[in-house]
Amino acid sequence: MTVKQFFKSQAFKCIIVLLVIALIAGGLLAILNDVLYVTDEERTMRAIEKVYGKEMQYEELSYSAEELTNDYGTISKVYLLENGNYMVQSTGGGGYKGGTITVWTVLAYKDGAFTGIEKVVLESYEKQTLMSKLTYEVYSAHNDEITGDVYFTTGSDGIKVVISGATYSTNALNNAVDCALYFARNTLSAKEA
């Protein structure tokens, strides 16, 4: 096939049509992405609203990479809320096929002392296991047991929490909450003291 024949062929027409459609679609999406972009501040305020049902003032805190990483997972954001509690976004591993779960955990503090977990909410259902049975009280119901060096688990070597019936998903969820708990015990409490 010569170059001239190629330019006149059906294959060339197919390539051009697909290319034009993809370019127009891409351009349109780029413009809309710019217009409809949701900022980090907006997302944080949404998370606070999801937890408390209203907007609340907050201050973003920064910590070193070592302080934000532990055996249970990784902390990505830490906020000090106007009511004195800390809201922490943590990601726990150990889910099905190495899956992770990201949650917002509200760590309750009274007079500078850690008093327990107030609420735990999923950051988003997107890209993580659907766990509609996670309610605010699942973890805070065990606040009396959160003493010493005890963490949440699906086994018997800690505070047993099983939610969805799927052990792997609960493992990742427990790890995410334990990650926040570890951070509260070892970093935030030291700072508050």
Partner 1 sequence: MTGKRFKTIAFDGLLKNNPTLRLVLGTCPTLALSTAAFNGIGMGLAVTFILICSNVLISLLRKTIPNAVRIPAFVIIIATFVTIVRMVLDKFIPSLYDSMGVYLPLIVVNCIILGRAESFASKNKVLDSACDGLFTGLGFTCALTLIGAVREILGAGAIFGYTLWDFKIEFFTSSAGAFFVYGLAIAIFNAIYSKVENVRRSKTFDLRIMPKPDVSAPDNLDPEESEKAQASTTADVAAKEVK
d(CA 59, CA 78): 9
Q: Which of 8, 32, 82, 137 binds partner 1 (CB under 8 A)?
A: 32
Q: Which two tokens stand for residue 168?
A: 């792997």
- 3-class DSSP assignment, residue 95: coil
Encoded tokens for 108: 């309750």
Contact with partner 1 (CB under 8 A): which of 5, 33, 64, 147?
A: 33
Binding mask of the shown chain, residues 126 to 165, with x at each position contacting partner 1 by CB under 8 A: xx--x-x---------------------------------
The structure tokens listed for 3 are 């170059």
Closest separation between CB of residue 139 and partner 1, Å?
A: 20
- 78 forms bridges with which residues in the sheet? 61, 88
Locate 62 and state its tokens: 């920064």
Interface segment toward partner 1; rule CB under 8 A; list 17-25, 58-66, 89-97, 177-185: 17-25
Paired tokens of 86: 């800390």
List residues binding partner 1 (CB under 8 A): 10, 13-14, 17-18, 21-22, 25, 28-29, 32-33, 36, 38, 46, 124-127, 130, 132
